[in-house]
Amino acid sequence: MFFKAFWSSRPLGLSMRFDSCIVRSCIVLAGSKPASSSQVFSYFKYFTNEHQDTLMSLNYINNARKILCIGRNYAAHIKELSNATPQQPFFFLKPSSSVLKPNSGPFLVPRGVVVHHEVEVGIVLNRTLRDLPDSFSNEEALECIESYALTIDMTARNVQDEAKKKGLPWSIGKGFDTFLPVSHSIAKKDIPDPYKVELSLSINDKVKQQDTTDLMLFPIHRILSHMSRIMTLEKGDLILTGTPKGVGPVEAGDHVKATLSVDGKVLETIEFDAEQKPGPYEYKEI
């Protein structure tokens, strides 16, 4: 049944508070027949609750103190980029301004930039961690996880490569606006084993990345232990755990879809269109 709501300036004796807004003089129509006040209440209760659930499922990214990303954590990905295999986890940070929330707009491709997609599992911490010992175990690490998320670490590949070549920091290659698409929060109970997760990413309905997290070189407990000795990890920090093979370009006009699945069941999806970024910026190698 299709419901249509509209506002009237005349009081009809119906007034309800939803969050901070008062809904006054609202008529809900089903076809041409006015609905009862109980139907009106049910209608708004449904959509208000749905809105609140959506907001709560994004609290993790709103509350993240830091966004840390592990690099080179899948052997085949290391090979496809001709990189050296690290002897210990290494990581970089992405700014919170790079986050692209679900249904909040297009992914923006800066002019002159070759953008690569990197689909990853993100973990959200439920406590502060500092100077963890070598004995820190996988079981202890899982106890420190509040929830999970599907993420895409977008990378300005030509910008990053040029910075590396010149021995410069390459935060610029990771930090453009919209360069971190994220999903809604995934409850910890829905991923009983973070090493049995399937990641997939497609461009224009063609699968580009598809692998499982059991291929990680550095497990989560090793990642947390190493990071905690360099900087304090805080409750709410979001940590991206690395991307599998198959990274490649995202161009203006592309449609991108990523999924996170457990036992064949899709738990979360990220989906958006890519557009040319407006404004004066254009990357040019010097």
pLDDT of res. 51 = 52
pLDDT tens digits, residue range 194-227? 999 999 999 999 999 999 999 999 999 999 999 9
Query: First-to-last CA distance in the chain?
Result: 60
Bridge partners, 124 (sequence order)? 147, 238
Tens digit of each residue's pLDDT (9 = 90 or more) over 61-102 = 999 999 999 999 999 999 999 999 999 999 999 999 999 999
Quote the distance between the C-alpha of residue 122 and its chain's center: 7
> pTM for the full model?
0.82
Q: Quick one: pLDDT band at residue 285, thresholds 50, 70, 90? A: confident
pLDDT at residue 126 is higher than 80? yes
Q: Which pLDDT score is estimated for 18?
A: 37
Tokens of 125: 């911490």
Average pLDDT, the chain: 87
Q: How many residues does the chain have?
A: 286
Dihedral angle, C-alpha 229, 232, 234, 237, nearest 10 °: -70
Please give the pLDDT value at position 35: 58
What element of type H or E holds 230? Answer: helix 220-230
Per-residue confidence band for 56, with pLDDT thresholds at 50, 70 and 90 = confident
d(CA 202, CA 221): 30
The amino acid present at 119, given as its one-letter code, is V
The amino acid occupying position 140 is E
The helix (run of H) or strand (run of E) holding residue 57 is none
Domains along the sequence of the chain with CATH: 56-276 (3.90.850.10)
pLDDT for the residue numbered 14 = 37
Burial (CB count within 10 angstroms: exposed 0-12, middle 13-18, buried 19+), residue 119: buried
CB atoms within 10 A of CB 90: 15
Give tens-digit pLDDT for 157-185. 999 999 999 999 999 999 999 999 999 99
Query: Which is it for strands 238-240 and 119-125: parallel, antiparallel or unpaired?
Result: antiparallel
User: Regarding predicted confidence, which is higher, 248 or 19?
Assistant: 248
Separation between Cα atoms, residue 236 and residue 65, nearest integer Å: 6
Name the percent of the chain lying above pLDDT 70: 80
